[in-house]
């Protein structure tokens, strides 16, 4: 069989969602609906202090005045926010397990299916003296539905002075830090979904790297939505003090369900002088079936503030999942000589839609930003790149380089580019490059004629297209991302 356009499309269309299993766990879920009592319930469940509850209620009052945005290039039926359950926790963790041994074995099975590396599973399972064969250890925080269930390597991190815990724990243990930074990058009233998150967020990760510390290992969070009709609203806060350095990875999956599920997360990053935060995401939420039934609505606000001079925030994302993605990881380049980066690969296939991109707001002198966005659309996937580069008058000598490339597979998919550039300083230097191309018979046949099999050819072409982004991912994640992309776009029968 030779390469025909339809074959390529078929290869892509047939792929099944591999993380689409449901874990049969007893969970503690409240009835759908949203009002101040629900927020009090969530806050009460988590034993939160009064100030936290007040913060949430104020967010909820603001959110009630807001409307969901209409400008994205996305089509979906209006969401009924009263039909969503805003809290679900695996029962076994309700009693706050003192040791990981108490973690439900089913949960550990879930990790295995998610492909969490073996030594981390051992750590999650609480195996004492588990050896770490790789020098580059990864500390994992796992958020299951709405609750953080386990964080590994706490001791080792503590020795370095690093705080890595669930945000619920941080609210209890480090209230002064949470009070100072929560909502300082993404205010409660920032946008509709961020407002909702501020009111009802149930958990998430908290990272604090003290002055001058280079975090000794990669930090990682795995998110999974399990229960039916639940929303996941996690909130992540990462603070890198002057001269510190951290690399943070997040991975996401969800079971296969016919209903759409809502995920509205907020991520806030703060980098002080000379600090560096690298934030990588591999997002593989359930995308719905090929007819667009089910799937996660992924409405996420991610923003980093390069507050300090010479600070750097780098976003890298590989987005293959979700029915709808609405996401613009952004950098506010406040500090002089600060650097913002955005590297993205987004795949839409089946009936998936994505409106994604970034915002780079240049405020500091000599601030620099780089945007490399690669969009792959297959089947009836629709994708829009939306990027804003804004140079304020204070940002003398600011620089931006933007490259956005689209790869189309088949002729029923779409790619759209909306680059916005606003420059209010004449010394700024801006570059923009864009390409749109089609993976067709020609490239496929060329590879086949050189002796490659069809699977290898698709993998080669797609990975070549994404190379600029993959090389920015931490090693383990790059391999994972490449694999994910292969299975997303290839026939599983190899």
Positions 382 through 401 that interact with another protein (CB under 8 A)? 397
User: Applying CB under 8 A, does 451 fall inside the site for another protein?
Assistant: yes
**In sequence order, what DSSP letters do the residues of 178-233 get, joined into one string?**
HHHHTTSSS-TTSSHHHHHHHHH--B-EEEEE-TT-B-SSEEEEEEE--STTB-B-
Residues counted in the chain: 494
User: Which stretch, 39-47, 162-170, 193-201, 443-451, contacts another protein (CB under 8 A)?
Assistant: 443-451
First CA to last CA distance, the chain: 14
Binding mask 400-419 for another protein (x = CB under 8 A): -----x-----x--------
Q: Among residues 185, 466, 473, 478, which is the contact residue for another protein, using CB under 8 A?
A: 466
Cβ–Cβ < 8 Å for 379, 413: yes
**Among 71, 78, 426, 493, interactor with another protein by CB under 8 A:** 426
Radius of gyration of the chain (CA): 22
User: Of the candidates 445, 476, 482, 491, which one interacts with another protein according to CB under 8 A?
Assistant: 445
Binding flag, residue 136, another protein (CB under 8 A): no
Is the CB of 3 or the CB of 167 nearer to another protein? Answer: 3
Distance CA 386, CA 360 (A): 12
Q: Rule CB under 8 A: which of 347-366 touch another protein?
A: 366
CA distances to 178, 189, 263, 352 from 193, rounded to whole Å, are 20, 9, 9, 20
The stretch among 25-33, 51-59, 325-333, 445-453 that binds another protein (CB under 8 A) is 445-453
Stretch that binds another protein, among 18-26, 100-108, 287-295, 435-443 (CB under 8 A): 435-443
Q: In angstroms, rounded to a whole number, what is the distance separating the alpha carbons of residues 387 and 402?
A: 9
Among 79, 452, 482, 487, which residue interacts with another protein (rule: CB under 8 A)?
A: 452
155/465 Cα distance (integer angstroms): 41
Residue 446 in the binding site for another protein (CB under 8 A): yes
CB of 460 to another protein, least distance (A): 6
448 binds another protein (CB under 8 A): yes
Residue from 456, 476, 487, 491 touching another protein (CB under 8 A): that is: 456
Determine, following the binding rule CB under 8 A, whether residue 431 of this chain makes contact with another protein.
Answer: yes
Q: How far is the CB of 483 from another protein (least distance, A)?
A: 17
Go through 472-484 and write b for each residue having 16 or more CB atoms within 10 A of its CB, e for each that does not: bbbebbbebbbeb
Is 173 a binding residue for another protein by CB under 8 A? The answer is: no
- Closer CB to another protein, 109 or 456, in the complex: 456
Instruction: Kindly tell me which residue out of 47, 393, 449, 475 binds another protein, with binding defined by CB under 8 A.
Output: 449
Number of residues that bind another protein (CB under 8 A): 44
CA distance 367 to 360: 10
With beta carbons less than 8 A apart as the criterion, state whether 291 and 318 touch.
no
Query: Which residue, 96 or 450, has its beta carbon nearer to another protein?
Result: 450
Contact call for residue 35 and another protein (CB under 8 A): no
Of 437, 483, 492, 494, the residue at the interface with another protein (CB under 8 A) is 437
Within 10 angstroms of residue 96's Cβ, the number of other Cβ atoms is: 8
What is the distance between the alpha carbons of residues 452 and 460, in angstroms, rounded to a whole number?
Answer: 10
Identify which of 66, 111, 335 has the alpha carbon closest to the alpha carbon of residue 223. Answer: 111
Angle at 324 between CA 254 and CA 63, to 5 degrees: 95
Is 2 or 475 the residue whose CB approaches another protein more closely? 2
Residues lying near another protein in the complex (CB under 8 A) are found at 1-4, 366, 397, 405, 411, 426-438, 440-443, 445-454, 456, 460-461, 463-468
């Amino acid at each position: 069989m030779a390469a025909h356009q339809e074959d390529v499309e078929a290869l892509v269309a047939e792929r099944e969602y591999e993380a689409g299993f449901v874990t049969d766990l007893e969970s503690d879920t409240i009835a759908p609906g949203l009002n101040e009592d629900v927020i009090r319930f969530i806050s009460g469940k988590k034993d939160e202090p009064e100030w936290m509850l007040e913060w949430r209620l104020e967010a909820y009052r603001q959110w009630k005045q807001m409307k969901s945005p209409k400008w994205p290039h996305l089509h979906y039926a209006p969401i009924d926010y009263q039909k969503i359950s805003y809290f679900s926790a695996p029962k076994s963790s309700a009693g706050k397990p003192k040791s990981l041994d108490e973690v439900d074995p089913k949960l550990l099975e879930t990790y295995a299916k998610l492909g969490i590396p073996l030594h981390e599973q051992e750590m999650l399972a609480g195996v004492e003296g588990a050896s770490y064969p790789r020098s580059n250890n990864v500390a994992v925080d796992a958020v299951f539905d709405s609750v953080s269930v386990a964080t590994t390597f706490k001791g080792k991190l503590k020795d370095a002075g690093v705080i890595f815990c669930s945000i619920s724990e941080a609210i209890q243990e480090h209230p002064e830090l949470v009070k100072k930074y929560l909502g300082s990058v993404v205010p409660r009233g920032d946008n509709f979904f961020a407002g909702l998150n501020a009111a009802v967020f149930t958990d998430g990760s908290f990272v604090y790297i003290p002055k001058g510390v280079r975090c000794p290992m990669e930090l990682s969070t795995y998110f999974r939505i399990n229960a039916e009709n639940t929303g996941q609203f996690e909130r992540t806060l990462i603070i890198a003090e002057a001269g510190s350095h951290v690399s943070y990875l997040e991975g996401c999956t969800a079971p296969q369900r016919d209903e759409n599920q809502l995920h509205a997360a907020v991520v806030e990053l703060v980098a002080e002088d000379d600090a560096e935060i690298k934030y990588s995401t591999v997002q593989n939420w359930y995308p719905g079936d090929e007819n667009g039934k089910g799937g996660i609505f992924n409405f996420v606000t991610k923003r980093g503030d390069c507050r300090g001079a010479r600070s750097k925030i780098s976003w890298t994302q590989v987005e293959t999942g979700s029915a709808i993605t609405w996401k613009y990881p952004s950098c506010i380049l406040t500090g002089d000589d600060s650097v913002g980066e955005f590297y993205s690969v987004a795949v839409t296939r089946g009936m998936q839609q994505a409106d994604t991109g970034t915002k780079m707001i240049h405020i500091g002198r000599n601030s620099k930003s780089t945007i490399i966005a690669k969009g792959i659309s297959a089947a009836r996937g629709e994708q829009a790149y939306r990027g804003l580069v804004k140079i304020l008058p204070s940002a003398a000598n600011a620089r931006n380089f933007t490259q956005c490339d689209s790869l189309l597979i088949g002729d029923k998919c779409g790619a759209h580019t909306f680059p916005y550039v606003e420059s209010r300083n004449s010394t700024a230097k801006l570059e923009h490059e864009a390409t749109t191309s089609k993976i067709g018979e020609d490239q496929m046949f060329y590879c086949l004629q050189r002796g490659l099999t069809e699977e290898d050819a698709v993998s080669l072409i797609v990975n070549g297209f994404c190379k600029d982004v993959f090389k920015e991912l931490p090693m383990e994640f790059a391999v994972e991302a490449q694999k994910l992309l292969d299975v997303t776009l290839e026939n599983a029968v190899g």
